[in-house]
Chain A
Amino acid sequence: AQKVTQAQTEISVVEKEDVTLDCVYETRDTTYYLFWYKQPPSGELVFLIRRNSFDEQNEISGRYSWNFQKSTSSFNFTITASQVVDSAVYFCALPYNNNDMRFGAGTRLTVKP
């Protein structure tokens, strides 16, 4: 069955530090997508990125980058030069049976000024 593990429950960094959020997944599918969502203190979930299992190239979007490694079943998320506004809970997620999204337990990131 699909499973997503985010082993880091909470991370605290000082502004401008780099931080990596880990995501490890299990799936029996040969092709699949992986997602990252952000939940800021206001509570709503915001879609960040979607990656296809065929594409293992790193993705970079501004200060955000994602490292997808099929060999280790990992899809890690790095924030470079973190800012206070990055403080949020971040979820990694994996679709299951077309209509279910299996979320990890989330990593709470606190960026201190």
Chain B
Amino acid sequence: QKEVEQDPGPLSVPEGAIVSLNCTYSNSAFQYFMWYRQYSRKGPELLMYTYSSGNKEDGRFTAQVDKSSKYISLFIRDSQPSDSATYLCAMRKDAGNKLTFGGGTRVLVKP
């Protein structure tokens, strides 16, 4: 079993809809959680970073962490065709430690 699980998709939504993404993990030592967006043939771009449990909002993006359930989520409001990409979750145990990634979810936002 992988340490971090993520549904590969694709997840197809109409423009303007809310995109809901999530990851589950098995290692309770993870404390730092990140979401990356990756366009085809490009390097991942950091979208959101959260520490421990709670919510964080940045523009159209909201990240949630529920450590008791070992579950993290990313919500994208008012989705745009330019949001079509692969979204990767990542997490680490402490500062300076290696990142462990989920497999990524491909998202398609249709005009």
Q: Do A and B truly interact? A: no
Residues of B bordering A, CB below 8 Å = none
Residues of A bordering B, CB below 8 Å = none
